[in-house]
Amino acid sequence: MIKNRVAAARAFLQRFDVDAILFSDIKDVRYLSGFSGSEGVLLLGDTEVFLFTDSRYTTQAAKEASGCTIIECSNKTAEIASRIVSFGSCNLGFQAENITVAFYEELHRSLPEVRLVSVGTETGSLRSVKDCSEIETLAKAAAIASESFEDILSMIRPGISEKDVALQLEITLRAKGADGKSFDFIVASGERGALPHGRASEKLLSSGELVTVDFGATFDGYASDETVTIAVGEVNARQREVYQIVKDAHDMAIEAVRPGVALKHLDALARDYISKKGFGDFFRHGLGHGVGLDVHEKPVVSFRSEGEVVAGMVFTIEPGIYMPGWGGVRIEDTVCVTSNGCSLLTKVSKELIVL
């Protein structure tokens, strides 16, 4: 498994005309070595792979990492530089988005004869198609989160605060075996539902409100992501209408997921439907994003996307309508692309739940 991932990563050496690539994104380090610590960089050459970490993690790295030489270092830059010199390398790729200016300048000073080449965000595509073990882990993370949400539905009622909902959900998913939450939960009720990223506040829920809850768990390093909009008490016809429009857009996009379909086409299906219903100005984000070691990773599913759906991709479908002064609705599932369609990893029913 790791061997196949490293082989795929080596294709970037020729693509960027470099002799080695320094992976500083800790999630990429884990993906390419198996090391789950929080401090480390990985140097990938044509025939060798080096994992640099400090003394806190060398024992852990020895147990977890495979296919690489582990280097314990107190001066990371010096150790990296010495290995690059031993490569006889003159072109070094690096992940510009994951290093500080100070580290870049230190590398440049230590390797004056080496040409440093930014590989941009291109290496993010390495993780866009999941293998069987990753999909199993993602499914477990999603199941924990979905079951936890269903377990706390009975405590969601008028008078409870958004923060209390978020706290009880986190406690429950941890009790069910999650490593933790995959992001700060969004709990946005009433008018606050117009905030796509409205983190849980002290606001108390009121009867007749829609409440958007965006949540996820991590399990063995992998994340889940799901959004459910529920009704607290009976809601009016307008609220039900908006909910149904979002659900129809959500269902339409999921039905269209299959290998070979343009990612931007999925976005267009949902976006055009919402626009046709008169709410196009209130759907202000892309339709979805990849989920894996990061809760937001490639592929991106938006009108800007250039790629196609590939079997093994795992990404969200999450249309929404957000109207300032009124509130909002978002419905989100995470799908895994199969050979002829997709399966849902997230499990909460997306029919309107009225509590």
Instruction: Give the pLDDT band of residue 10 (cuts 50, 70, 90).
Output: very high
92 is written with which tokens?
């070094």
Helix 237-256 and helix 263-276, axial crossing angle in degrees, nearest 10? 160
DSSP strand pairing (20-23 vs 186-189)? unpaired
pLDDT exceeds cutoff 80 at 213:
yes
DSSP letter at 341?
Answer: S
Handedness of CA 31, 36, 37, 43 (dihedral sign): negative
* Cis amide linkage into residue 259, ω under 30° from 0: no
Q: What is the reported pLDDT for 1?
A: 86
pLDDT exceeds cutoff 90 at 121:
no
Q: What is the reported pLDDT for 122?
A: 82
Q: What is the reported pLDDT for 9?
A: 96
pLDDT exceeds cutoff 90 at 345:
yes
More confident residue, 35 or 74: 35
DSSP letter at 322?
Answer: E
pLDDT tens sequence across 49-77: 999 999 999 999 999 999 999 999 988 88
**CA triple 134-44-8, angle to 5 deg:** 45
pLDDT exceeds cutoff 80 at 87:
no
User: Can you tell me the distance from the alpha carbon of 133 to that of 9, in angstroms, rounded to the nearest whole number?
Assistant: 19
User: Can you tell me the distance from the alpha carbon of 162 to that of 204, in angstroms, rounded to the nearest whole number?
Assistant: 6
User: Can you tell me the distance from the alpha carbon of 1 to that of 241, in angstroms, rounded to the nearest whole number?
Assistant: 47
CATH homologous superfamily for the domain 132-344: Creatinase/methionine aminopeptidase superfamily (3.90.230.10)
User: Can you tell me the distance from the alpha carbon of 163 to that of 200, in angstroms, rounded to the nearest whole number?
Assistant: 5
Provide the residue ranges of all domains of the chain, joining segments of one domain with +: 2-126, 132-344
Q: Calculate the dihedral angle through the C-alpha atoms of 102, 104, 110, 111, rounding to the nearest 10 degrees.
A: -170
Between 55-59, 95-99, 221-225, 286-290, the lowest mean confidence (pLDDT) is in: 95-99
Q: Enumerate the β-bridge partners of residue 234.
A: none
Average pLDDT over residues 77-85: 88
More confident residue, 30 or 76: 30
DSSP letter at 205?
Answer: P
pLDDT tens sequence across 291-301: 999 999 999 99
Q: Which own/partner pairs from 105-110 qualify as long-range (CB within 8 Å, at least 24 positions apart)? A: 106/77, 107/77, 107/80, 107/81, 110/77, 110/78, 110/80, 110/81
Handedness of CA 197, 202, 208, 214 (dihedral sign): positive
Q: What is the reported pLDDT for 323?
A: 98
pLDDT tens sequence across 134-184: 999 999 999 999 999 999 999 999 999 999 999 999 999 999 999 999 999
Give the strands of the sheet with 222-223, arranged side by side.
180-181, 217-219, 222-223
What value does the mean pLDDT of the chain take?
96
pLDDT exceeds cutoff 90 at 86:
no
User: Can you tell me the distance from the alpha carbon of 150 to that of 301, in angstroms, rounded to the nearest whole number?
Assistant: 28
Q: Is the pTM of this model over 0.85?
A: yes
- Residue 176 CB coordination number (10 Å): 15
User: Can you tell me the distance from the alpha carbon of 227 to that of 186, in angstroms, rounded to the nearest whole number?
Assistant: 9
Average pLDDT over residues 106-123: 89
Q: What is the reported pLDDT for 84?
A: 87
Instruction: Give the pLDDT band of residue 262 (cuts 50, 70, 90).
Output: very high
pLDDT exceeds cutoff 70 at 89:
no
User: Can you tell me the distance from the alpha carbon of 101 to that of 85, in angstroms, rounded to the nearest whole number?
Assistant: 22
Q: CB burial class (10 A; 0-12, 13-18, 19+) of residue 210?
A: buried
Average pLDDT over residues 235-247: 98
More confident residue, 282 or 113: 282
Between 12-21, 74-83, 123-132, 245-254, the lowest mean confidence (pLDDT) is in: 74-83
Q: What is the reported pLDDT for 90?
A: 85
Instruction: Give, in order, the Cα–Cα distances in Å from 245 to each of 104, 251, 265, 278, 342.
Output: 49, 10, 18, 10, 22
What topology does CATH give the domain 2-126? Creatine Amidinohydrolase; Chain A, domain 1 (3.40.350)
How does DSSP assign 104-128, residue by residue?
HHHHHHH-TTSEEEE-TTGGGGGGS
Handedness of CA 120, 122, 128, 134 (dihedral sign): negative
Q: What is the reported pLDDT for 163?
A: 98
User: Can you tell me the distance from the alpha carbon of 236 to that of 247, in angstroms, rounded to the nearest whole number?
Assistant: 17
Average pLDDT over residues 344-354: 98
